A and B are shown apart, each in its own frame.
Chain A
Amino acid sequence: MSFSISSYIPLSERDLWNDIKPIPQDDGPNPVVPIMYSEEYRDAMDYFRAIAAAEERSERALELTEMIIRINPAHYTVWQFRMATLLALHKDLEDELQLMNEFAIQNLKSYQVWHHRLLLLTHISPLDPSSEIDYIHQSLLPDPKNYHTWAYLHWLYSHFYTLGRISQKQWQAELQWCEEMLRVDGRNNSAWGWRWFLRVARPGAEKGKDGLEDELKYALKAIHSIPHNVSAWNYLRGLLRHFKLPLTPLLPAILLYTSRSPSEALTCPEDFNYPGPPTPLPKDTPLPVPLALEYLGDALIEQGSNSQAGEVFSDLSTKYDKMRTGYWEYRRRECVEG
């Protein structure tokens, strides 16, 4: 390490910077949380303060900001200054995008890196955002739950949709990509969230009855594939609540997971065409599945069978989901005190 320190040439010894008077950090006397900056960072920041005060928009300002960001990618002030400089100098923003790709490889990710990228795409405003979409897909492969990346993908489609630059074919292809993500890992809740956006939340998502039926079946199949997958249960419940649909009609499809026999009220109608559980169930699928019991409890409330619902919640509280004993007891009381 001592080698790298001694090899650093201070900016004051470089011709490019000899017209600038550096400004040291003003922390006041005896500050708390002082950081023992490296010589390189301190030096760069001293010069940054000087050019920021002068609002200098120059090539060397870009070099300096890059130097700082490589050491501290969360330095939002430096990012803001860099963007303003790029725009003032009419720089080729594609080059900047390349630099951001390199940053991502070096794992210099932060809120600021992603936001910088968002601003770049806004300014570049490609007629077809395909290459950016591909890039994001690629970057999710090694890191399939990165929250920033998923939020950015949501923004990317939303922004370019409002500009009329997402074709029907692209929406289709995106849905297929999302399904592939869920095929690889059906428990990836980020991918489930993306599916919700594609199928339900975005303007222009298919709102027709057939589309909804397909979606309910998709969620049920996912439950049958991994019966203890909370993501799939939440998606199913989310659909029903969003479209204000009752839970009861789907009950026959999941009743097996409750380990309860169907009562008369729950007999399966003849035209029931939702997928049912596989026989045999996948190995290591202990029953009942707590989320299936919750579903049953809520369906019973819907039917006005509050005392039966209370029994289901009582079972959850005392036997099948004891971590949440208090919550299920609360749900039970809501049923009986209703």
Chain B
Amino acid sequence: MSIYAPSIYSLEPTPLPTNSHPSATLDEQQETESIISSIFSYLASPTTDSDQKTILRKNEHTQFLASTFFKLPGKFVALDASRPWLIFWSVHSLDILGVALDQGTKDRVVSTILKFLSPNGGFAGGPSSSQIPHLLPTYASVCSLAITGNSGPGGGWEELKYARQSIYDFFMDCKREDGGFVVCKGGEVDVRGTYCLLVVVTLLDILTPELIHNVDKFIASCQTYEGGFACSQFSFPSIEDDNLFTRASMAEAHGGYTSCSLNSHFLLSSIPLPNFPTPIDVDSALRWSVLQQGESIEGGGFRGRTNKLVDGCYSWWVGGGIPVCEELVKRQKKIRSNGKENKIEIIDEEKEEDWVDETPTPPLFNRVALQEFTLIAAQVEAGGSGGLRDKPGKRPDQYHTCNNLSGLSIAQHSMKHSSSVVQSNKDKFDTTKSLPPIIPRSKDGGWASEEMRQNARKEVWANALGWIEDESGEIIVGGKENRVNTTTPVFNILALRLQPFINYFYCQED
């Protein structure tokens, strides 16, 4: 195991010092410390030799997830406008666990999702005859189709192909001048919507300059003084200039919004436009992220905000952002050491070096402790319902199961964005093949030339497929049986799902 990622079992379970200053935050913290440290004391460690050792109970979780596909009890009505998410959480979790769906179930998933596709573009939270399209279900639906669909008749991908322009038009309907997007007609504006939109735009090859105009500024101004990101920002009109805004973030830093913001920024950073995207403070984003990891007495799970409680869902929201931070930090360092501002030029120069000759960076968060949190605290007790949860004492659900497992995958596998892979992708990109270009809304809203469009397609495609696993960095707590599949940072689908899907829309060979 890594000396830079000590096990919970090797660390003193020290409570948060009270400073003799009681408050509600301290009370809640102490209660959580007590619940989590006690479960660590009575369950056997995942690494013990005893046959009592705690393993990842894949069969129980599979049972829990598979039941989602059939009749759901009435209380699920609260998720009646989030059915694509119920599907995504389940199919992606099963993918991470390495459980193959039978073709019949896959077909049912595809035909259900296609019912959610609005003829006006975008996916709704349920049948499009009942519900209006929304950015969040659009992400969940498209990713579910990437996982379960195929390019054949009725496989869902062809239907998506024909819906590209209408999805684009829906996205433009959501767009606001300051770079934010409403999540649906008349809906709220926040970075969840931006993230969901940018993933879909990237996957379906429907990117235009007009769509992403000011989006980088919107994201950058959600970053808070702590380094993490808030849900949204407010644009105060400038008195001097109608086109200028003073922007302020609209709440404290939060794990979910930080994930959406970092991933959005990363996706925007592949787009070859001058002075784009507006930079973010990468060092403080990384610092904030690692500080969210709880102490050993809290089992090493992540919290979602400073002075809040650890919760298994942040294993993905915060943990999943750390490889992205790592890559952004690496790029920043290269720019500094080259003393140049032009990122495109630098990427061209680094063909040879890449990261193979670098001393491996220590894991930036405690990947061992997070796995222990997942196995000991987040899994529902053996012989129970299966599924993963916020923390002991909470019920499991599909959302927490998916986010715990996605975080577990990030903790086990060392994912790197490889500039040499990106370069070789670019070298083999075939610009002669493309689906019909998107018709922009405004006359000059598209790419200024076909050459620029092709260059953007190439960069976006090559970077999306730039994530690879550094297999020497694999850490599996509790042995091989606990290994889960590798999810792709930024997108959160398996690499083996991402590649054929994105290639289909960019008309590239596998």
Contact = CB atoms under 8 A, between A and B. Distances in A.
A154 B4 CA distance: 40
Among B19, B129, B237, B361, max chain A CB count under 10 A is at B19
A46 B183 CA distance: 25
Interface string B214-258: 000000000011110011101011000000001011111110000
Contacts of B377: none
Contacts of B18: 283-284
A238 B21 contact: no
A23 B129 contact: yes
A106 to B, nearest CB: 14
Task: Label chain A's interface by main secondary structure.
Answer: helix
Contacts of B130: 25-26, 45, 48-49, 77
A21 interface: no
Interface string B73-89: 11011111111001100
A327 B281 CA distance: 17
A36 B72 contact: yes
> What is the predominant secondary structure among interface residues of chain B facing chain A?
loop
B115 A27 contact: yes
Nearest to B185: A80
A162 B248 CA distance: 13
Contact of A326 (B68, B83, B246, B364): B364
A32 B187 contact: no
Contact of A32 (B105, B281, B362, B365): B105
Contacts of B230: 151, 193
A41, A196, A325 interface centre (most CB from chain B within 10 Å): A325
A196 B253 CA distance: 12
B486 to A, nearest CB: 20
B124 interface: yes
A31 interface: yes
A323 interface: yes
A229 interface: yes
Contacts of A238: 224-226
Interface stretch (B161-169, B269-277, B290-298, B428-436): B290-298
Contact of B234 (A158, A187, A230): A158
A33 B87 contact: yes
B19 A327 contact: no
B109 interface: yes
Contacts of A84: 186
Contacts of B105: 32
A119 interface: yes
Contacts of A200: 225
Contact of A185 (B24, B125, B281, B306): B24
A170 interface: no
A187 B17 CA distance: 13
A230 B254 CA distance: 15
Taking each of B23, B71, B115, which has the highest tally of chain A beta carbons within 10 Å of its own beta carbon?
B23
Nearest to A337: B359
Contacts of B320: none
Interface residues of B, number: 96
Contacts of A196: 224-225
Interface string A185-201: 11111101100110011
A33 B83 contact: yes
Interface string A88-108: 000000000000000000000
A118 interface: yes
A150 B365 CA distance: 29
A330 interface: yes
Contact of B81 (A28, A77, A228, A324): A77
Given A75-B80, A145-B308, A226-B19, A325 B5 contact: yes
B363 A326 contact: yes
A241 interface: yes
Contact of B237 (A38, A114, A162): A162
A162 B245 CA distance: 12
B290 A324 contact: yes
Given A32-B112, A282-B19, A323-B11, A38 B187 contact: no
Given A74-B79, A80-B132, A226-B21, A154 B234 contact: yes
Contacts of A242: 225
B127 interface: yes
Contacts of A147: 231, 251-252, 254, 305
Given A72-B78, A118-B188, A184 B290 contact: no
Contacts of B264: none
A35 interface: yes
A25 B284 CA distance: 48
25 contacts: A31-B108, A33-B83, A33-B87, A35-B79, A36-B71, A48-B130, A72-B77, A72-B80, A145-B305, A145-B308, A147-B305, A154-B250, A187-B307, A189-B306, A189-B308, A190-B252, A192-B252, A202-B236, A226-B19, A234-B226, A234-B288, A241-B284, A317-B4, A323-B293, A325-B366
Interface of B: 2-6, 11, 16-21, 23-26, 68-74, 76-83, 86-87, 90, 105, 108-109, 111-112, 114-115, 124-127, 129-132, 134, 183-188, 224-227, 230-232, 234, 236-237, 246, 248-254, 281, 284, 286, 288, 290-291, 293-296, 300, 305-308, 361-366, 369
Q: Give 7 closest A-B pairs by Cβ, nearest first.
A: A238-B225, A193-B252, A187-B25, A326-B4, A326-B362, A185-B23, A158-B234
Interface of A: 23, 25-38, 41, 45, 48-49, 71-77, 79-80, 83-84, 111, 114-115, 118-119, 144-145, 147, 150-151, 154-155, 158-159, 161-162, 184-190, 192-193, 196-197, 200-203, 225-231, 234-235, 238-239, 241-242, 282-286, 317, 322-327, 329-330, 333
Given A230-B307, A239-B225, 9 more contacts: A26-B127, A32-B69, A155-B234, A187-B26, A229-B19, A238-B226, A323-B293, A323-B366, A326-B4
